[in-house]
Amino acid sequence: MRKRLVSAAIAATAALALSSPGLAQAAPRPHAPNVSVLAHGSSAGTAVVSGQNKPGTKLHVDGARTESVHTLQIDYQVQQTGYWCGPAATRIALSARTSPPSQADLAGQLGTTVNGTDHIGLVTNVLNANLGTGWYETKQMPNDPPTQAQRDLLWRDIVLDVDNNYPIVANIVAPPGNQPPGYPSDQTIYHYFTVIGYDDADRTVLIADPASFGGNQIYWLSFDQLATLIPPKGYSA
């Protein structure tokens, strides 16, 4: 509730916030290639970065703003272990606003084990602790398929958060037949990834996916599909 009450004030001071090193979008990291998002379009299924699945891959993703599109500038890393999707997705989100800790440091903060990161509430707490803010809240989507109210709230959260330079971290369940690009089609994948933008015209969302399945690291996903991937888990927004 707190962030809803302060969102108008944050929007009014956005220009000032973006001039402050502590709140600004993170500067490009050395030796991380720049990726221009809109050079590829924003329709669902568009891969901004595909086929690059080298361990330790790092990218600097430029932000973009048009009449219908808003994407955030972030630093991307492939998750460094098979069970660090939570730390990696959290790191991507933090990188929009600050120089983030390492995946290993965040794994410690999240209590991540070989079984993964237990629940989305841990991500919410770590995001707020590292940013020194109470912006992030945990939103549950227990209904599968989600209710219209849950879908409407998810879209409002994406727009509000991206417009205020806060990426969203989503905990997803991707079964065969309902998966983002490159996912192993014979497995149900339990995963965390980061939502870093939206296109209001195409009704798509930009995903920074630390798993890099099939080398798909940055890609556009339909909002409708995102809404079906989150249940019965939740997201930090």
Strand runs labelled E in the chain: 34-35, 47-49, 58-61, 64-65, 69-71, 74-77, 138-140, 168-174, 189-199, 204-208, 218-222, 234-236
Q: Is residue 89 within 8 Å of residue 69, measured between CB atoms?
A: no
* Residue 29, φ and ψ in degrees, nearest 5: -85, 145
The span from the CA of 73 to the CA of 36, in Å, is 10
Task: Enter the pTM of the model.
Answer: 0.86
The pLDDT of residue 38: 81
pLDDT, residue 30, reads 45
Between vectors from CA 135 to CA 171 and to CA 173, what angle results, nearest 5°? 5
CATH code given to domain 2-10+28-236 = 3.90.70.10
Distance, CA of 58 to chain centre: 16
Phi and psi torsions of 80, nearest 5°: -90, -10
pLDDT averaged per 10 residues in sequence order, the chain, 237 residues? 38 32 39 76 85 72 94 95 97 98 97 97 98 97 96 98 98 97 96 98 97 93 98 98
Would you list the domain boundaries of the chain?
Answer: 2-10+28-236
